[in-house]
A = this chain, B = another copy of it.
């Protein structure tokens, strides 16, 4: 359509293309969720409904954006990983971040009443912020994922102990905090066990490990591939035939997006799921 003399202002938009051939992680965080927890009476140390809602929103994000290869969530945060060959939105940071944040929020708000059946949302509504970070190598990416899972473990052990002291042990928050100051993991395990007969190992996996969101393909035998090395060797997006692309698309669309609570630090997780690093969809398991 016609131009106007004001169009020069378009030139002020600055490029934010993320470096090619790097893994893109978009991490989103709940805004002001401490207040939200109080307002809706989230259970402590973990509210199962809130986590299930996070996971449901994450599954929806990954279903709508098949370019995402894996998601990992804990508490009120979720990380989504785009394969290093991804060219979605020309790798523009703002587009990637805002699209994920918006889609996640849409589902979170819409699905709220499914998980919090008796607590209708009232303003201010839950919202999330986000950012994109590039990781050049598979090792960097895995270290990022490990960082989040270690954080999950550290926080959950602390919170489990803290709230046991408060809820079961009758301490005030301040007392519990002081009591735990300077303790290491072994101390907290011991406190839980000796005081409250809680074996931390028996806590639900979703609390201890966080939530991994992946597409459901058949696991392979470890040792049958070297997806990490292959991934690091990729230098640029592979030009596939239209047919091949179409096939990949269909397989990805067919694959169920599922939530699991697994160790993503050890090699085994990645060895059995080569598609996470290779970006080639695996074999869709037969429906039973």
Contacts and interface: CB of A to CB of B under 8 A. Distances in A.
B31 A102 contact: yes
A13 B27 CA distance: 11
Interface of A: 1-2, 4, 6-17, 19-22, 28, 31, 60, 64, 84, 93-95, 97-99, 101-110, 121, 123-137, 139-140, 143-144, 146-147, 150-151, 154-155, 158, 184, 229, 232-236
A144 to B, nearest CB: 4
A218 to B, nearest CB: 27
Q: Which one of A19, A123, A229 has the greatest number of beta carbons of chain B within 10 Å? A: A19
Contacts of A146: 4, 6
Contacts of A10: 147
Nearest to A110: B109
Contacts of A144: 6, 9, 12
Contact of A95 (B11, B93, B131, B154): B131
Contact of A98 (B130, B139, B234): B130
Given A235-B143, A236-B8, A21 B128 contact: no
Given A19-B134, A137-B232, A235-B143, A121 B129 contact: no
Given A19-B19, A102-B102, A110-B109, A9 B135 contact: yes
A105 B135 CA distance: 29
Given A98-B28, A98-B128, A14 B12 contact: no
Contact of A131 (B9, B13, B140, B235): B13
B99 A127 contact: yes
Q: Most B CB atoms within 10 A — which of A31, A64, A97?
A: A97
A11 B20 contact: yes
B105 A102 contact: yes
A102 B125 CA distance: 10
